[in-house]
Each structure stands twice: as structure tokens, then as C-alpha cells.
Structure 1
Amino acid sequence: MLPSKSERLVELLSQHHDSLYRYIFSLVGNAHDARDVLQETSFALYEKWDQFDSSRPFLPWAYKFAYIHVLKWRAARAKHCPTLDADVIELLAVERQQEESQLAARLDVLENCLSQLPDKDRELVQDRYFRGITPDELVDHRRTSRRTLFRELQRVRHLLMACIERKLQQDPEPA
């Protein structure tokens, strides 16, 4: 039995959720706003789903909707605080789409590099960046100073960056 159109949309949105979120986040720069724009984008995709040509890739089509909703977000926000000019947003959007495959490769390698970190370092990264624990909470939990915490985070980020660069140079097209 073939999935219904709306089931297919949900399947594609689930499959591409992270890429679409990262694209939006790269244009708005704030996780809360990116989630809001993603929600608006998802609703627009649902409304226009009948116009989707299934012989073409989904993600570029979805990016167009996301871009439109980023512009709407920007226009609404311009009343309250300064935002980037539309031409700058457009340049960022185009560049982000062009970098998609490289970013995906870096994320794949990052997972491998994270697994190679000592447990203590991997836990720190997971707490701060995956679980969203604030620096103040980490300072309290780890019974350390903010200065020491930020030095540790910086050291681990450098380790991860070096690992990613090394692996990408060894195998520029990771699987």
C-alpha cells in the first residue's frame, strides 16, 4: 500500500528535519526563532504539498519555503530590532545551500570524532551542546569555575576540529 500524500510529506519532513532546521538557524541565528520559522515552513509545505513534483528532490523545494518564511520573520522583527539586509540574507541562503554536502560530511565525521573522545570530554560536549545545559548549571554540577569550564570547552572543540579536519583530509568523501 502506497503512503498517502500527507504521510509522504511527514516522512520527508522527518528525514530532512535536521537539515531544514540547520538551514533556517543559519539564517536567523537563534534556536527559538529557528524552531518557530521551521514550524511555519512545515505548515506552508503542507498547504502547498499538492504542488510538489515528486520527481525532483524535496530539500531544495523545502528550502525555498524556509527562505520565504525567514524573510517574513525578518520583516516582522525589523519593527523591533535591526536585522540583516535582504540581499545579505539571500547571499547567506545561497551559500548555505551550496555548502550542504560539505556540512553533512562534517557532521558524519563529527559523530566519529565524538566517539573517540575520552568519556569525560564527550560528556562535557553532550551536556553543553546536545542536552543544552547552561554554563552556570555546568559550573555548579562540575564544581568548577566558569573560566575552567570555558577553557575545557575550548580545548575539546579544538580537539574535535582537528579530528574533523584530519579525517576529511584522509577521506574527503566520507560515507
Structure 2
Amino acid sequence: MKLFLQSERRILGFILALVPHLADAEDLVQETCMIMWNKFDQFEKGTDFVAWGISIARYRVLNYRRSTGTRRVYFSENLMRQIDDAAVGLSVQGDERLSALQSCLGRLREKDRELIRLRYFAENSTKQTAREVGRSADSVYKSLNRIHDALLLCMRHAVKMESFPTKSLRAEG
């Protein structure tokens, strides 16, 4: 179930690139997820789950195109394969970036991680976050900016070097 939930948005993004109507795209995502669920025993553990889902989605989109082919002009099958390949590549890049972000977050000081948690994971505004930590909104805003800069630098380094820095991050200021 975790794999399905993590992949659903990426599969929807792939389908939306190929299907003009959101309602149709959402229906195709549901069809794709049903097929993935029914064929889960055919998924090879250790391979890219999103890529597998996108390949199933591609066939659902092809069927959709065949059934609605008289209404609109759509992408050629060759172009769809190229989009499919690009989507899988973006999926891998997204996974690398997510991994880098998680590693970089883990290297922040505890109080900086707490600000990030309160602001983004708890979905608080900067003012709400400031109230919770007993600081001014301006102070929290400046701290968040420094933390963002530190995370961005760490992630660029991690993705570029394909390894993560070993020292902890400190948002100076």
C-alpha cells in the first residue's frame, strides 16, 4: 500500500502529460492502480515501482486514446514512449533528491529541524510557528531562510557528488 501511495502522484503527472481532461486522467490513474493491485505479485521486488506503474499507465492511456481517437489529435506512440522514458528518469531524479533532502534534514541542528517540522510538516504559517517557539515572526522567517540556504547547498552537494556530507549542517546566523 505504501508503494501505491508514494507512486500515485507521479503516475497522475505522467497521465496528465498525455490526457487533456483531469477527470479522464484521474479515472486512468484509478484503472492503473487497480491493475497494479491485481498484478502486484508480478512486480519484481527491487525494481522501480513507479516505472512499472507508468508502463501500465501508458497502456491505459493507449486504450483511452483508441476509444476517444475520433475526438482529438493525440501524441504518437513514439512520442508517448519518449515521455514515458523521461517520466521514469524524473522519477529516479526525484528519488535521489528526496533521499538527499532526508539526509540533509538529518544533519540539521535539532532546533532547526524543529522549525522545519513546525513550519512545513505541521503545515503552520510562519506566524503560527513563531508563536509555538516563542519567537518573533521576523526572527523565524530569517532562520527559515538560513535553513533553506543550508539545505539547498547540502542537497546540491549531495546530488552532484552522489554522496552526502558527513558533518552536520548549521544554519549560521
TM-score calculated relative to the size of structure 2: 0.54
Residues 1:102 and 2:93 aligned together: yes
TM-superposed CA distance for 1:113, in Å, is 1.1
- Picking from 141, 155, 167, the partner of 2:158 is 167
Residues 1:21 and 2:12 aligned together: no
Q: What residue is the counterpart of 2:128 in the other structure?
A: 137
Q: Which amino acid aligns with 1:54?
A: Q
Q: What residue is the counterpart of 1:31 in the other structure?
A: none
Higher helix share: 1
C-alpha distance in 2, partners of 1:151/1:54?
Answer: 50
Residues 1:155 and 2:146 aligned together: yes
Q: Secondary structure at the match of 1:133?
A: coil
For structure 1, which runs of at least 5 residues remain unmatched after alignment? 1-12, 29-36, 69-85
Quickly say closer, same or farther: Cα 1:171–1:149, change in 2 above 3 A.
Answer: same
- Picking from 33, 51, 54, the partner of 1:45 is 33
Residues 67-114 of structure 1: per-residue CA shift (max 9 Å, x gap):
97xxxxxxxxxxxxxxxxx99xx9x99855431111101111211111
TM-score calculated relative to the size of structure 1: 0.53
Residues 38-65 of structure 1: per-residue CA shift (max 9 Å, x gap):
8994576227855789368652454438
Quickly say closer, same or farther: Cα 1:27–1:41, change in 2 above 3 A.
Answer: closer
- Picking from 90, 99, 107, the partner of 1:116 is 107
TM-superposed CA distance for 1:22, in Å, is 5.5
Moved more, 108-117 or 138-147: 138-147
C-alpha distance in 2, partners of 1:134/1:112?
Answer: 24
Q: What residue is the counterpart of 2:69 in the other structure?
A: none
C-alpha distance in 1, partners of 2:153/2:14?
Answer: 23
TM-superposed CA distance for 1:121, in Å, is 0.5
TM-superposed CA distance for 1:147, in Å, is 2.7
* Aligned Cα root-mean-square deviation (Å): 4.2
Q: Name which one, 1 or 2, has greater alpha-carbon Rg.
A: 2
Quickly say closer, same or farther: Cα 1:172–1:122, change in 2 above 3 A.
Answer: closer
Tell me the number of residue pairs that the alignment of Structure 1 and Structure 2 aligns.
Answer: 133
Q: Which amino acid aligns with 1:141?
A: E
Moved more, 50-59 or 104-113: 50-59
Q: Which amino acid aligns with 1:20?
A: E
